[in-house]
Amino acid sequence: MKTTKALTAALLGMTLLAAGCYSSAATSGADPLVRQGDADLVNFAHCMRAHGVQMSDPYHQPGHIGLTVNMPPQSSATRTAYAACDHYMQDLIQIKEARTTALATSRLRALTRYAECMRAHDINMLDPNARGELDLGDVAGMANNDFGRQSPQFHSADAACRHLLPAGTGDDGTGP
């Protein structure tokens, strides 16, 4: 129980300062998840105030979808209010976690397809690790066939496979 409350507090502190920024999938205020999230944030603020915690109303932050709330710091003075009002935040936490997991899974699939494509183009690249990271450093077989990052073979394979990379993948010119 104590661990669950600590996890909830951490998630609230880290992910809900901008809780209205659900994902790019929610594109308008007409999205039912956005409407429900906005209502939950407003109810949370009202509940906290009803339990003696002064906090600002949820507000629209430019560039974000839905409302944003500034969470009051957790302390002995706010503990009772959080315990009474936390249920309003549970759906938002679950939505955030589900979308984060879906994005991570999607990213991992895309990076794996990229690595498979690179192998199909004779670059002996490993699949991404569980955290979705590609390690293009000391890959077995690349040094033996002179197909390192700077080789024409690597650049040719990268050009053929680059479209498989997830949007926003960083690249310093030597591969993702």
pLDDT tens, 27-46? 444 577 778 888 999 999 99
Say whether both 81 and 110 belong to one domain: no
pLDDT at 104: 74
Query: What is d(CA 127, CA 133) in angstroms, rounded to the nearest whole number?
Result: 9
pLDDT at 92: 81
Cβ atoms of residues 89 and 9 within 8 Å: no
| Residue 118 domain boundaries | 105-164
Query: What is d(CA 161, CA 115) in angstroms, rounded to the nearest whole number?
Result: 8
Q: Return the closest-CA partner of residue 20 out of 30, 5, 33, 7.
A: 33
Say whether both 16 and 67 belong to one domain: yes
Q: Is residue 129 predicted with pLDDT exceeding 80?
A: no
Say whether both 123 and 159 belong to one domain: yes
Q: Is residue 140 predicted with pLDDT exceeding 80?
A: no
- Residue that finishes a domain, picked among 85, 115, 149: 85
- Residue that finishes a domain, picked among 50, 85, 120: 85
- Tell me, yes or no, whether 13 lies in a domain: yes
Q: Return the closest-CA partner of residue 151 out of 134, 165, 139, 169.
A: 139
Span 48-99, pLDDT tens digits: 999 999 999 999 888 777 888 899 999 999 999 999 999 998 888 887 777 6
The tally of domains found in the chain comes to 2
Contacts with 67 (C-beta within 8 Å, 6 or more apart), sequence order: 19, 20, 37, 38, 41, 42, 58, 59, 60
> What is the secondary structure of 62-121 as a DSSP string?
TTSSSEE--PPPPSTTTHHHHHHHTHHHHHHHHHHHHHHHHHHHHHHHHHHHHHHHHHHT
- Tell me, yes or no, whether 172 lies in a domain: no
Q: CA-based diameter of the chain, in Å?
A: 69
Say whether both 81 and 153 belong to one domain: no
Q: Return the closest-CA partner of residue 115 out of 105, 129, 125.
A: 125
Say whether both 12 and 71 belong to one domain: yes
Q: What is the pTM of this model?
A: 0.46
- Tell me, yes or no, whether 76 lies in a domain: yes
Say whether both 80 and 134 belong to one domain: no
- Tell me, yes or no, whether 171 lies in a domain: no
